[in-house]
Chain A
Amino acid sequence: MIKKAFLFSIFSLTLLFTTSCATSQSQTDQHEHEDTLESFNRAMFTFNYNVDKYVLKPVAKGYRAITTPDVRTRVYSAYLNIKEPMFAANQLLQGEFKQSGISLSRFVINSTLGLAGTFDVATAWGLEQKKDDFETTLAKWCVPDGPYIVLPFIGPSTPRAFAGLMVDSFASPVYWLTNDHDDGIYAYGAYIAAKSIIIREASLELGDDLERNSVDFYTTMKSAYLQNKTDMPNCFNDTQTNAAYDFDFGIEDEEQTFDEMEAE
């Protein structure tokens, strides 16, 4: 499994470099995101949309129906706890040694005293959670994001995000526990399925709402995904700014325009 995932990461990084070299700067609108793989992406988006519509969404609804909000909060907390070693590993790679120690302590404390992570005792002790994944690490290492790509089952992504996802899966305790067993792959698959349901349940309203009001759902999702990740650190600047959304409206005499409009 390690080998396979490693090959995947290499593959996606190669894709990243070849396609980002091939892309030309032919933007007609400064706010438009380039989409060199659009026809492939749209097809994949439709595939994922149907998987969601007929499988994931109904299951997420079922999960909501049989659980109370409090149960879901506990489950979500446990899910985040499982990711804590991954946060720690990435913080180490980013040179954030203190934060890495905090994440590791959080994992130990919450897995035991926090009853398998269902309660977050560590935060109450002043050990705050900080999420860092391998994509953030790559971003800090100056690896460019690459073109927007919709992947089957995974959804909106970029080569860097996909490479990050693959590498992060090695830092999961679920992976360590299941890796050596013959049926480990099924257990790991079950974990991925559970994770998908937990995440999907939390965005049921938002997803429906976006879809209902969208005239081009593909573009809406792409736009939201790419904007959302603009707060990722980059190698030149660690501090997050509002530069991504501090765009120029490009409207000079709006009052005049509307006075003219009203007059007509």
Chain B
Amino acid sequence: MKKGIFAAILGSVFLFTAHAKADINAAQADAFVRKVANEGIEEIINANVSQSVKQQRFEKLFNEALDLDFIGQFVLGRYWKTATPEQRKAFIKVYRELNIKTWSARFDEFKGKSFVFNGSTPSTSKNQIFINSTVAMDQGEPAKVVWRVKQTGSNFKIVDIIIENVSLAITARNEYTAFIKNNGGNIDALIADLQKKVNAPVKPAGK
């Protein structure tokens, strides 16, 4: 009997510590993503301001909400280790600029749309969680959008966005490492190519 109680106490202590180790506040992470999505739609996409103001606001939101240093490091894969500090910095910078440019060009597509949030799913990674949502499409079923959130202290950041099972981080990693591999391991070639895309004039999509 005593043994049983002891085991139960030990078990619960273990359970609590194990739980605390992988802890992320699901409710707060959910609220964080909702706030980011809502701000993006209300104050940027649907706002009655010029495109340049929209872009400025988006850049601010993007930098605040996404941990691009973290994502960028993953995206370079094994080449992150061999990259010089200058290359790392240059890559993160151009990757950030390209992402901001890409998403800014697509504001109109998200006009009048809204996300429906359907709770969260735990992650095997420490301090991370998936926030599930869907967004209505013009045709067919709504698209599944999952936000991967990382908590550091009381600070939340998005570290991946998964659209219909396609992780943007994994896709970028596959693409960039393939490019570097096909260019004889030259990271500068990738940075130069991305810079070219950042500098190219903005063309509305579908035209």
- Where the two chains meet, the residues of A that have a C-beta atom closer than 8 Å to any C-beta of B are 28-29, 31-33, 69, 72-73, 76, 80, 202, 204-206, 208-209, 212-216, 219-220, 222-224, 227-231, 242, 244-251, 254-255, 257-258, 260-261, 264
Contacts and interface: CB of A to CB of B under 8 A. Distances in A.
B89 to A, nearest CB: 7
Contacts of A230: 165
A228 B175 contact: no
Contacts of B139: 72-73, 76, 202
Given A205-B109, A209-B102, A254-B70, A245 B160 contact: yes
Nearest to A258: B69
B115 to A, nearest CB: 18
B125 A249 contact: yes
A215 B176 CA distance: 7
Given A32-B174, A205-B205, A248-B124, A227 B179 contact: no
Interface stretch (B44-52, B55-63, B72-80): B72-80
Interface in B120-141: 121, 123-125, 130, 138-140
A220 B203 contact: no
A215 B102 contact: no
Contacts of A246: 123-125, 130
Given A212-B197, A227-B166, 12 more contacts: A31-B170, A202-B140, A213-B102, A214-B175, A215-B194, A215-B197, A228-B166, A245-B162, A247-B167, A247-B170, A248-B124, A260-B85
Contacts of A31: 77, 170, 173-174
Contacts of A80: 140
Contacts of A33: 174
A244 B165 contact: yes
A181 to B, nearest CB: 31
Nearest to B140: A76
24 contacts: A31-B173, A32-B177, A69-B138, A72-B138, A76-B139, A76-B140, A202-B139, A204-B205, A204-B206, A206-B205, A209-B102, A212-B205, A213-B98, A215-B194, A215-B197, A222-B174, A223-B166, A223-B174, A228-B164, A229-B165, A245-B160, A247-B167, A251-B74, A261-B89
Most buried by B among A72, A202, A205, A250: A205
Contacts of A73: 138-139
Contacts of A245: 146, 148, 160, 162, 165, 167, 170
Given A227-B170, A249-B74, A209 B197 contact: no
Contacts of B102: 209, 212-213
A251 B138 CA distance: 38
A216 B138 contact: no
Most buried by B among A31, A231, A260, A264: A31
Nearest to B177: A29
Given A31-B174, A213-B197, A245-B162, A254 B167 contact: no
B35 interface: no
A264 B165 contact: no
Contacts of A249: 70, 73-74, 125, 159
Contacts of B88: 261
A32 B200 CA distance: 29
A229 B20 CA distance: 34
A93 to B, nearest CB: 22
Nearest to B152: A255
B160 to A, nearest CB: 7
B178 interface: yes
Nearest to A229: B165
Nearest to B162: A245
Nearest to B150: A249
